[in-house]
Amino acid sequence: MHRITIVVSIAVLLGTATACNSGRHSAAGFRLPANGDVARGKAAFVSFGCNGCHEVSGVDLPQPTVQPPVIVALGGEVPRQMTDGYLVTSIINPSYELAAYPKEQITVNGKSRMPDYIDRLTVQQLNDLVAFLQSRYTVRQAMPRPAY
């Protein structure tokens, strides 16, 4: 009986440790193949008109044109790594988790103003778009806590 308790305890500990793994390629999350191409992703971003509403940190793109204007900025410094799953969900189901902007500016009848792209993209285009966006995010370095 004591061995069963030890085995179960080890299994729970390993499961917990695995679930705590974070980052873009976390074993606990959705992952895309590593063959996403940043240049093709940038081209897809423009060809699908994403730049009509989005600016991307550090990238020279045609200016946003959406009316009324609400420019949702992508890229830049973030507190933790963006996951492939989060970016894919944001592209194919943008109403799932709305951006941190005033809701009345980014929604119509409670839904995101951004159309979903679930039937407009190939998987490779989606992979390329995510690779492009991933290339524009940097994780902010945590400030060390002073030892008192």
Domain holding 64: CATH number?
A: 1.10.760.10
5 in any annotated domain: no
**Which tokens hold the place of 142?**
């945590």
How confident is the model over 13-63, as pLDDT tens digits? 334 444 455 555 554 667 888 999 999 999 999 999 999 989 999 999 988
Exposure pattern of 105-115 as b/e (b: 16+ CB <10 Å)?
ebbeeeebbbe
Q: Cα dist. 89→4, 83, 111 in Å?
A: 41, 10, 14
So what's the pLDDT on residue 7? 37
Number of domains the chain contains: 1
148 in any annotated domain: no
**Which tokens hold the place of 78?**
């973030």
51 in any annotated domain: yes
How many CA atoms are closer than 13 Å to the CA of 53, on its beta-carbon side?
Answer: 16
76 in any annotated domain: yes
Higher pLDDT, 5 or 42: 42
The predicted model scores a pTM of: 0.75
Enclosing domain of residue 108: 30-139
Q: Helix (H, G, I), strand (E, B), or coil: what is residue 147?
A: coil
How confident is the model over 76-94, as pLDDT tens digits? 999 988 889 889 989 999 9
Q: How far apart are CA 65 and CA 101, in angstroms?
A: 18
- Roughly how many angstroms between the first and final C-alpha of the chain, as a whole number? 46
17 in any annotated domain: no
Query: 90 — alpha (psi -120 to 50), left (phi > 0) or beta?
Result: alpha
